[in-house]
Amino acid sequence: MAITTSEQPGTLPDDAAGVLAAARAETAAADRAEARKLQLAVQWAIIHPAESVQDAETYTFRSGLEGVIPIAGPGAPLVAEFSVAEYAAALGLSTEAGKHYLGQAVELRYRLPRLWARVVAGDLPAWKARRVADATIGADLTPEAATFVDQHVAPVAHKIRPTALDRLVEEAIGRFMPDQAEQRRRDGLDRRHFTVDRNHVSFDGTAYVTGELDLADAIDLDDAVRGLATQLADLGSEATLDQRRALAVGELARRQLTLDLTPPEAGGSRSEVEVRAQRATKPPAPTRTPVRKTVLYLHLSTDALTSTGDGIGRCETTRKPVTATQIRDWCGHPDTHLVVQPVIDLNQHVHVDQYEIPHRITEHVALRDLTCVFPHCTRPARRLHPEAHGCDHDHIRPYAEQPHTCSHGIAPLCRRHHRHKTHGHWHYETPEPGTYRWTSPHGHHYLRDHTGTTAIDPADDGRPEQHPPPRD
């Protein structure tokens, strides 16, 4: 069945380029209106400051009189309590939702001035700025920590993803709020548990297992379960992956029960002769050997190397900042086996005269780009889990045109976007290593670099560019 529109003929574009242009124009108009509405919210807060309430400084809730309330983070001005409800009603929001909206506006105006300037200039959609304000208010950042977030987010706020924003807020807490960061770490330790619910067993004989583990322990457990689940499949199991993972946990438990880790001297008082006789007839108890394997890629500046304070590191598996104290705890664990990898200089140009891509180049590219370099894609360049698929390493220019392989000419593309590039009429070039300029089938351009994706206006005449034939 054909898809039709109920609009009158001639009111909507009838070609692809016209639809894209109209959609962009409507989005720009909506962004301007949202920015204006955010400025009006700040103006409302300015008109109703704390000083507008009598005895605001000494206010206590009494007889239902109006007071002042904080709606943004520390250092932002207070507003008159009753003014919030009226503004919320004018926007068609509940009082609580209106307070939340006003708080975002005030947070941007007074604690995130760089982001606010971009919104006022029409350079940043209001909803993206509000998302950042939400994060800084929710984390109750100090003024110094909020300034840190503002400085680092403002240049890339139009393309930063929520996960990257969360990591930046956590880093701000670690850098400027050490007491809170340490308390959060301790709270995380206190939350650790592993519970098998024996009181609520289902009729078909299953039970719930829940837990919150130390990250390194959780990774070790996950790797062990994945490995056993794969072995079960190789042995012919037709169970689903989830079923095999559940079976693998039981296998791990039963294997642990077969280990005799009890010293021969334990188990009661025995004579030296009896102990010697047992040692002669029984093999010695197995000893524990280091089994934990934690790979850490550390990017350190001179200041970080010479600093005496608690620094910030990053875990590649989760792509989140962690404290140096936590890293020391993981590496200092008796079951940890440390492997020091050679330092890779990402500014170095590595090349070979062959089509196959050696490991030193794929590692270089994965560390440089981190993810698939297609616009807006965040799939990790490296295979972080056994069943995951790492990105393909694509020759930016066909090998037939440039008969060598080098770190500057290779880019990570996930399988989906590799197919888009090969068969879907997308193509790209690299102005410099780590920066990619993409062209879509309709002639739209996107710049992808370490800060994310930036949309670039299409050709001036609005017509799609002629795309080259698909490349291998």
pLDDT per residue over 44-89, tens digit each?
999 988 776 654 444 444 445 557 788 999 999 999 888 888 888 8
Q: Is the pLDDT of residue 440 over 80?
A: yes
The C-alpha atoms of residue 330 and residue 102 are separated, in whole angstroms, by 43
Q: Distance between the two ends of the chain, CA-based, in angstroms?
A: 36
pLDDT of residue 51: 75
The C-alpha atoms of residue 154 and residue 151 are separated, in whole angstroms, by 6
In sequence order, the β-bridge partners of residue 320 are 315
Could you give phi then psi for residue 274, rounded to 5 degrees? Answer: -65, -40
Please state the rounded mean pLDDT for residues 412-431: 90
Please state the rounded mean pLDDT for residues 15-44: 92
Q: Is the pLDDT of residue 277 over 80?
A: no
Determine contact, residues 404/351, Cβ cutoff 8 Å: yes
Least confident segment among 237-246, 393-402, 419-428, 450-459 = 450-459
pLDDT of residue 280: 52
pLDDT of residue 460: 42
Least confident segment among 139-148, 149-158, 301-310, 404-413 = 301-310
Strand ranges inside 185-311, DSSP E: 193-196, 209-212
- The number of C-alpha atoms within 13 Å of 255 and in the hemisphere containing its C-beta is 9
Please state the rounded mean pLDDT for residues 304-326: 63
Percent of all residues in the chain with a pLDDT value above 70, rounded to a whole number: 71
Angle between helix 16-47 and 95-111 (nearest 10):
90
Determine contact, residues 449/155, Cβ cutoff 8 Å: no
Identify which has the larger pLDDT, 366 or 351: 366
- Tell me which range, 29-38, 50-59, 213-222, is most confidently predicted by mean pLDDT: 29-38
Q: What is the pLDDT of residues 38-52, one digit of tens each?
A: 999 999 999 988 776
pLDDT of residue 448: 92
The C-alpha atoms of residue 22 and residue 297 are separated, in whole angstroms, by 46
Least confident segment among 28-37, 60-69, 162-171 = 60-69
Q: Tokens 């996960």 identify what position?
A: 163
Percent of all residues in the chain with a pLDDT value above 90, rounded to a whole number: 26
Least confident segment among 247-261, 272-286, 335-349 = 272-286
Q: Is the pLDDT of residue 472 over 90?
A: no
Characterise 199 by phi-psi region: left (phi > 0), alpha (psi -120 to 50), beta (else).
alpha
Q: Tokens 């070979």 identify what position?
A: 352
Determine contact, residues 427/471, Cβ cutoff 8 Å: yes
Using DSSP, state whether 340 is helix, strand or coil: coil
Confidence of residue 275 (pLDDT cuts 50, 70, 90): very low
Q: Is the pLDDT of residue 294 over 70?
A: no
Burial of 72 (0-12, 13-18, 19+ CB in 10 A): buried
Characterise 449 by phi-psi region: left (phi > 0), alpha (psi -120 to 50), beta (else).
beta
Please state the rounded mean pLDDT for residues 310-319: 66
The C-alpha atoms of residue 150 and residue 111 are separated, in whole angstroms, by 8
Determine contact, residues 212/192, Cβ cutoff 8 Å: yes
Helices (H) and strands (E) in the chain, counts: 15, 14
Please state the rounded mean pLDDT for residues 345-357: 81
Residue type, 21: A
CA 79 distance to own-chain centroid: 34
The C-alpha atoms of residue 383 and residue 338 are separated, in whole angstroms, by 20
pLDDT of residue 462: 43
The C-alpha atoms of residue 411 and residue 449 are separated, in whole angstroms, by 12
Q: What is the pLDDT of residues 103-125, one digit of tens each?
A: 999 999 999 999 999 999 999 99
Determine contact, residues 125/38, Cβ cutoff 8 Å: no
Q: Tokens 């079960």 identify what position?
A: 232
Q: Is the pLDDT of residue 341 over 80?
A: no
Determine contact, residues 112/84, Cβ cutoff 8 Å: no
pLDDT of residue 281: 53
pLDDT of residue 161: 87
pLDDT of residue 60: 46
Tokens encoding 300: 């350190």
pLDDT of residue 301: 46
Identify which has the larger pLDDT, 256 or 466: 256
pLDDT of residue 185: 78
The C-alpha atoms of residue 466 and residue 51 are separated, in whole angstroms, by 63
